[in-house]
Amino acid sequence: MNNKNLIILLTFMVTLFAAGCAQKEKETAAVNTEITQDSLIKNGEYLVTILGCNDCHSPKRMGANGPEIIPELMLSGYPSDRPLGQVTKNAISDGWALFNADLTCGIGPWGATFAGNLTPDETGIGNWSLEQFKTALTKGKYKGLDDGRMLLPPMPWINYVNMKDADVKAIYSYLMSIKPVKNVVPAPIPPGEL
């Protein structure tokens, strides 16, 4: 074999080796970035916890350490069977914003709003698509409908405008995995009707 043929053969072998290594790197990267449904749900649970979703969307009762989430009502919003109680109009006209004891109802210049049901029941987000959920969370649209009204305070949707799609999907996946709770949350009450 002459030098020219040897160089061609060596070049060919090096090219094959490099191509094989590149393919192996791609396969390894794909395996390492593949997300299981279980890990997606766990990440969603983590995000729901650190973003404070339970603060407003979970009914609570007083316990030894203060307000505690009622486990069977977790993320089900303002309880539909709870009386609204007396709202102090003077506090609103004086510029105050108020919450009920478990933070599932907020009252202020916008009127009275009630934390939504985030469970996968049909009275919550059970019929919502991932795209609707994303629209609600990142664009502040009621029920995730582009032509719907804006979400009212105290929902901090403006903080989530730039949330990554992967995080939205993780939160949605977690919420769709929890126990559904049937609970029709009351409609907002305009300020003039309080």
Over residues 33-70, the pLDDT tens digits come to 578 999 999 999 999 999 999 999 999 999 998 899 99
Over residues 122-161, the pLDDT tens digits come to 999 999 999 999 999 999 999 999 999 999 999 999 999 9
Residue spans of alpha helices (H) in the chain = 3-33, 37-50, 53-57, 89-93, 130-139, 165-177
Question: For residue 191, what are its two tokens?
Answer: 């300020």
Where are the chain's structural domains? 37-193
Share of the chain above pLDDT 90, in %: 67
Q: What is the largest CA-CA distance in the chain?
A: 100
| Rounded Cα gap, residues 114 and 4, in angstroms | 80
